[in-house]
Copies of this chain bind each other. A is one copy, B any other.
Amino acid sequence: MTYITAMSGHDHDHGHEHGHHHDHDHSELSETQLRVRALETILTEKGYVDPKALDAIVEAYETKIGPRNGAKVVAKAWTDPAFKKALLEDASKAIGTLGHVSRVGDHLIAVENTPKTHNMIVCTLCSCYPWEMLGLPPVWYKAAPYRSRAVKDPRGVLADFGVTLPKETEIRVWDSTAETRFLVLPMRPAGTEGWSEEQLAEIVTRDSMIGTGLPKVSA
């Protein structure tokens, strides 16, 4: 098996999958680092990739592409009923009309929380996530506890996030099993009347757009 040859014996990053990030095993981590560097060297020498282009990708996700994009879209929808309508009809198209948010790819679907229905997004099979709106997904989104439980015990998952919803609220879980991507449009919290779009964007957390949290208004 090709795999066996390419991998050394006991090279495990224990703990990551569980959301912890103690560097409890420096020798293993540095071994991975060396192996990744070796592969990059090979790909570069073969002319497959230009390392400067890789730098640019990394930098974009570290500095430009994050949940602020989604938060702006949510704040806009909270203050502009026509935009909200367009967003729920075709999110990719509606967001394309906004100058201050980067263009998003096809197949984005916005789903609206209401007093009756709470939406939650998961990808049980891998890690599908609306990168352009929320940046790269957090470790917990990609890890087994969330992926396994979200479709069967979403209220238990919400409890892990400290969120409790009324029993009568319908929980609507969207499993991202194809190239469609989902963005939750949370409910605008009470007490935010008259706030500007910028102020509103500040309270839209990443988790509120995944459905594992709610917008945060400081008391």
- Chain A 12-27 residues near chain B, CB threshold 8 A: 12, 14, 24-25
The quantity of this chain's copies bound in the complex is 2
Nearest CB in chain B: distance from A96 CB, A: 46
Q: Report the interface size for chain A: residues with CB under 8 A from the other chain.
A: 6
- Chain A 63-81 residues near chain B, CB threshold 8 A: none
Chain A: interface secondary structure?
loop
A152 at the interface (CB under 8 A from B): no
In the bound assembly, the distance between CA atoms of A115 and B189 in angstroms comes to 73
Which one of A10, A12, A25 has the highest number of Cβ atoms from chain B below 10 Å of its Cβ?
A: A10
A14: chain B residues within 8 A (beta carbon): 9-10
In the bound assembly, the distance between CA atoms of A10 and B25 in angstroms comes to 10
Of the A-B pairs whose beta carbons lie under 8 Å apart in the complex, a sample of 6, sorted by A's number, is: A9-B14, A9-B24, A10-B10, A10-B12, A10-B14, A10-B25
